[in-house]
Amino acid sequence: MAIIDEYDHLAPRLRGKKEGTFAYLTVKDRWPKIVTGLVDQLVRKRPELIQEYGPAVETDIASILEKFSKLRYEIMTDKPLCTLPENGSEGRAWNQLIFDMKTAFMPDDVEELTFFKGPWLFVECYLYRFIYSAFLTTEKLSEMDYFQDTKQRNFLDHLEQIEEAAAFMNKISEKDAPLHDLFGTNTIFKMSLWGNRADMSLTGGDNQIMKMSCVVASAKLSEYILVDDVNEMIFHVLAPLQVNKGNSKNRRIDIVLDNAGVELTNDLVLADFLLIRDFADKVVLHGKAFPWFVSDVTEKDFTWTIDSFAKAGPEGEIFGNQLKSHIGNKKLIFECDSFWTSPHPFYVMDREAPELFKEFCSSSLLIFKGDLNYRKLVGDRDWNMDTSFKTACRGFAPCPFIALRTLKAETVAGISSAVLDKINAQFEDNNSWMTSGEYAVCQFGGFAA
Ligand SMILES: [Mg+2]
């Protein structure tokens, strides 16, 4: 595949080697912390695992611990990426990608494909694939979700907020509830946006308790949204969908998910809203095929979450049952294409995942949640921030889409000079606003030229 292109000069890919950047701190501190957390967990769970799988599981645990201690050493000493076991779906493809990246993007032996020097997005995806492969090669632990406890804890620590979100949605669902206008629809999108503040890959695996609920955040945090295209999207896409409900077939909306826990809850509120307010005949949710970036949603998380809403209280229970009926009616569907656990930016989706791309061509709206999806939309590059969002997406346009993202990486495009001036006046040379998760963008795109 084509690894290098003209954009490498215009907008270089982010890499961990530049000291002081967030990418550098991620490679130096956050990744070793995540690997150490997994080692600690395995050691802690050893008696439990022996009880469940028998003494033979000791061999599996030992093999994973050995691989992780080597991985941690290789990250910290900036060693070249080694090949991966060719197991599971895409195992072989990964080794081809590593080879291509080594020979095409870093061909001159001056810079090797190492943890710090390699493109950040590529190496970070490699890290999570490495972890997955280590479990997959074992006899007993190949199905284990090693991030499950973290994800479930996030849900259980936000039960009060989840009950509040469910109550908010249940009120809208009532038969005689007044038809919500633009403002109501906008609020639901903002709840989904602010759910993205909770991210356990950002904290190196530590749980993050959100002090402000998404219902409250949707009303109070508008000054933290640097670009807000939600109303434009509602006007151009959602409103016509609702008006044309009798005339157009297959009104389908897709949500490409990010994190489990409180964020997934608010994404399910959005999905439920789109269905009951008749913006779509079906909503397709896209999650990950295996544990990814600590807190990303897998199918198991999706099922567990729906089954667990009753834990939040009576409103949660009603909301959970409503979702179960959408699933039963095939109006709410969960899919997990292997493209989402690849390192590819989205502008190559038509070539790398043609079936998925084709599906999106028939979608009415695609909603991308979170930072990683945004990084893949704009290629994880150091764009001039006033470059248009459309340019940064580089032709990716299967259908209209909106990115709902709180900023957790130093890549962003489409920020107006007025907003940039304001941010620069406040933060001067400090880039912390780009990675703290405090600021957000809601950017609308996807119309072909
Ligand atoms: Mg995530």
* Per-residue pLDDT tens over the stretch 365-419: 999 999 999 999 999 999 999 999 999 999 999 999 999 999 999 999 999 999 9
pLDDT at 447: 73
Instruction: Decide if 210 contacts 160 (C-beta within 8 A).
Output: no
Whether 299 is in a domain gets the answer: yes
Averaged pLDDT for residues 310-314? 97
Q: How far apart are CA 228 and CA 444, in angstroms?
A: 9
Predicted confidence (pLDDT) per residue in 156-208, tens digit: 999 999 999 999 999 887 766 665 566 688 999 999 999 998 766 666 666 66
Residue 260 C-alpha to ligand 1 middle, in angstroms?
A: 8
Q: Is residue 2 part of a domain?
A: no
Mean pLDDT of the chain: 91
Q: What does the block give as tokens for 351?
A: 């070539």
Residue 15: CB atoms within 10 A of its CB come to 22
Nearest Cα to Cα of residue 205 among 35, 68, 46:
35
Distance 199 CA to ligand 1 centre (A): 6
Task: Return the SS3 of 381.
Answer: strand
Report the CATH number at residue 359.
3.40.50.10880
CA 284, CA 271: separation in Å to the nearest integer? 9
Above 80 in pLDDT, residue 324?
Answer: yes
Helix (H, G, I), strand (E, B) or coil at 15: strand
Domain co-membership, 408 together with 284: yes
Residue 290, φ and ψ in degrees, nearest 5: -155, 165
286 inside domain? yes
* Domain total in the chain: 2
Residues, CB-to-ion distance under 5 Å, ligand 1: 258-259, 293, 296
Same domain, 83 and 201: no
Tokens representing 103? 């020979």
Is residue 268 a part of any domain in this protein?
A: yes
Residue 23 resides in a domain: yes
Q: Minimum mean pLDDT among 148-157, 178-187, 332-341: which range?
A: 178-187
- For ligand 1, the distance from its centroid to the CA atom of residue 194, given in whole angstroms, is 13
Question: Is residue 120 located within the same domain as residue 199?
Answer: no
| 335 CA distance to ligand 1 middle (Å) | 17
From ligand 1's centre to the CA of 257, what distance in Å? 8
Band of the pLDDT at 87, cuts 50, 70, 90?
Answer: confident
With contact defined as beta carbons under 8 Å apart, do 387 and 408 qualify? Answer: no
CA of 127 to the centre of ligand 1 (A): 14
Separation of 379 CA from ligand 1 center, angstroms?
A: 17
Strand partners, 114: 80
C-alpha of residue 371 to centroid of ligand 1, in Å: 7
First to last CA, the chain: 25
Give the residue carrying structure tokens 């295996």: 290
Q: Which of 334, 340, 406, 415 is nearest to 376 (CA)?
A: 340
d(CA 20, CA 5): 27
Same domain, 253 and 389: yes
Model confidence, pTM: 0.95
- Alpha carbon dihedral 207, 208, 214, 220, in 10-degree steps, equals 180
How far, in Å, is the centroid of ligand 1 from the Cα of 385? 23
Q: Is 220 in the same domain as 336?
A: yes
**Do 15 and 108 belong to one domain?**
yes
Give me the percent of the chain exceeding a pLDDT of 90. Answer: 78
Q: Residue 205 phi/psi, 5° resolution? A: 105, -10
Distance from Cα 56 to the centre of ligand 1, integer Å = 33
Closest to 261 measured CA to CA, from 206, 199, 201: 199
Q: What is the per-residue pLDDT for 218?
A: 87
Q: How far is the CA of 386 from the centre of ligand 1 (A)?
A: 26
What confidence category does residue 323 fall into, taking pLDDT thresholds of 50, 70 and 90? very high
Q: Are residues 326 and 441 in the same domain?
A: yes
Is there a single domain that holds both residue 288 and residue 168? Answer: yes
Measured CA to CA in angstroms, residue 151 lies from 24, 95, 202, 259 at distances of: 26, 29, 13, 8
What distance in angstroms lies between residue 295's CA and the mean position of ligand 1's atoms?
5
Q: Same structural domain for residues 386 and 284?
A: yes
Q: Mean per-residue pLDDT for 267-277? A: 95
Residue ending a domain, choose from 101, 136, 171 = 136
Q: How far is the CA of 204 from the centre of ligand 1 (A)?
A: 11
Name 193's Cβ contacts closer than 8 Å, sequence gap at least 6: 218, 225, 404, 405, 406, 440, 442
Say how many Å lie between the CA of residue 437 and the centre of ligand 1: 12
Ligand 1 centroid to residue 372 C-alpha, Å:
7
User: How far, in Å, from the CA of 195 to the mean position of ligand 1?
Assistant: 11
What's the per-residue H, E or C state across 251-314? CEEEEECCECCHHHHHHHHHHHHHHHCCCCCEEEEECECCCCCCCECEHHHHHHHHHHHHHHCH
Q: How far is ligand 1, taken at its centre, from the CA of residue 81, in Å? A: 23
Q: Do 49 and 177 share a domain, yes or no? A: no
Residue 351 is predicted with a pLDDT of: 94
- For residue 293, the CA-to-ligand 1 centroid distance in Å is 5
CA of 113 to the centre of ligand 1 (A): 24
Q: Is residue 49 part of a domain?
A: yes
- What CATH number does residue 37 fall under? 1.20.930.60
Q: Is residue 433 part of a domain?
A: yes
How far does residue 258's CA lie from ligand 1's centre (Å)? Answer: 5
205-260 pLDDT, tens digit per residue, is 666 677 788 888 888 899 999 999 999 999 999 988 888 777 766 799 999 999 99
In one-letter notation, the amino acid at residue 76 is M
- State the distance from the centre of ligand 1 to the C-alpha of 411, rounded, in angstroms: 16
> Which of the 8 DSSP states describes residue 111?
S
Distance from residue 246's CA to the centre of ligand 1 (Å): 37
Rounded distance from Cα 93 to ligand 1 centre (Å): 23
Q: How far is the CA of 77 from the centre of ligand 1 (A)?
A: 26
Decide if 339 is inside a domain: yes
Pair (383, 348) in one structural domain = yes
Q: Supply the pLDDT for residue 3.
A: 63
Residue 151, classified by CB atoms within 10 Å of its CB into exposed (0-12), middle (13-18) or buried (19+), is: buried
Residue the block writes with tokens 């629809």 = 185
Distance 179 CA to ligand 1 centre (A): 33
pLDDT tens digits along 97-146 = 999 998 887 766 668 899 999 999 999 999 999 999 999 999 999 999 99
Between the CA of 289 and the centroid of ligand 1 the distance, in Å, is 13
Residue 32 sits in which domain range? 7-136
Together in a domain, 72 and 154: no
Q: Rounded to the nearest whole angstrom, what is the distance from the C-alpha of residue 297 to the centroid of ligand 1?
A: 8
152 CA distance to ligand 1 middle (Å): 14
- Taking the centre of ligand 1 as the mean of its atom positions, its distance from the CA of residue 369, in whole angstroms, is 9
How many other C-beta atoms lie within 10 A of the C-beta of residue 121? 23
Query: Do 395 and 349 contact (CB within 8 A), yes or no?
Result: no
* Alpha-carbon torsion, ordered 239, 245, 251, 253, to 10 deg: 40
Residue 346 backbone phi and psi in degrees, to 5:
-70, -25
Whether the CB-CB separation of 130 and 84 falls below 8 Å is answered with yes
From 89, 111, 136, give the residue that closes a domain: 136
pLDDT at 429 over 60: yes
**pLDDT tens readout for residues 37-46:** 999 999 999 9
Query: Which of 114, 136, 158 is the endpoint of a domain?
Result: 136
